[in-house]
Structure 1
Amino acid sequence: MFIEKADLGSVLYDYQIDQITDGNDDLVAQACNSAIEEAKSYLTPNINDKKWLDGRLLYDVETIFSKTGNDRHSLIVQHCATMAKWYVAELCNADFIYEKAKERYDRAVDWFTKVAKGTINVSTLPQLVRDDTTAGEKQPFEMGSRVKFNHE
């Protein structure tokens, strides 16, 4: 898995995780999986939407999230851990500052949104190679005129 309970140590103390989840590691795994899926959804291009052909970088999401250990992109891991913290926080009534968790979650989502829109480019992430044969067929916008209307 791309992130695990050990990675949450940078955003939550172990005693907080255990107190919130009652030691149920399945809840932590579910929060980590949810964070990974949410992060993937921001970075995965919609190939049916022409706006993705506007020249922005397209990241190889499967390669990014298949890495393990020190090969993982540290900023992506940190943001995913922050998002997983938010999913764990939904169960919380422990020694926890809700507003700070919400603020950091919002910042992580905003960062992923900016990367997906091309406002921020992460040069160290693997990118998809555009296929030049299909790139010429699809354009981010079309020009032309309507067919003439006839009263028949």
Structure 2
Amino acid sequence: MAEFINPEDYDASIHREILESIIREDEAVLEICEDQAIEQMKSYLGTRYDCRKIFSARGKERNALILMFAIDITLYHVCSIHNPQKFSSFRKERYERAMEWLKGVSRMEIGIPEAPALDSETVQRNMPTQIRSNPKRVTHR
């Protein structure tokens, strides 16, 4: 169960009565969607950032940017449950923006201020492409 997102965090993104009508007041559905969103984010952030520290943060310790995108992704998954013909284009746009941001972070085009980074050796190992060479040989005497 995700504890990174609090119920009151949704108030800035969706009216409580709309959210409750979509999930049919079943908090378990919301928790499943939160877990899915966080795992999805970890798959992009995990090569550079300490996801354990990021997603175990509570209250004011949470990174506001990461929280915002976690809520957007969660709400996309929640709204996907609802009637597809009534799916909000706004939710889809917010989800796509969150995914573009995650891809940019993963490609190292975007950094996350104040997010706990992994040590440089671990980041180096996690890089998708690595260029290495043998040590330079000395052939002159």
TM-score normalised according to structure 2 size: 0.80
Q: Aligned pair count?
A: 127
Report the identity percentage: 26
Partner of 2:15: 13
Deviations 1:46-87 (A, max 9, x none): xxxxxxxxxxxx211111111011100001000000000001
Measured after TM superposition, the shift of residue 34 of structure 1 is 0.9
* Aligned 1:67-106 pairs, distance under 5 A: 67-93=57-83, 98-106=88-96
Measured after TM superposition, the shift of residue 142 of structure 1 is 4.2
Measured after TM superposition, the shift of residue 97 of structure 1 is 5.5
Distance 1:107 1:116 in 2: 14
Give the conservation status (yes or no) of the 8 Å contact 1:31–1:87: yes
SS in 2 for 1:17: helix
Deviations 1:92-115 (A, max 9, x none): 249x66111101100001111111
Distance 1:15 1:123 in 2: 34
* Aligned 1:1-152 pairs, distance under 5 A: 1-45=3-47, 58-93=48-83, 98-131=88-121, 140-142=130-132
Structure 1 segments, 4+ long, off by >6 Å, are none
Letter in 1 for 2:52: E
Compare the two structures and name the one with the higher helix fraction: 2
Distance 1:8 1:113 in 2: 24
RMSD: 2.4
SS in 2 for 1:12: coil
Distance 1:10 1:39 in 2: 20
Measured after TM superposition, the shift of residue 128 of structure 1 is 1.1
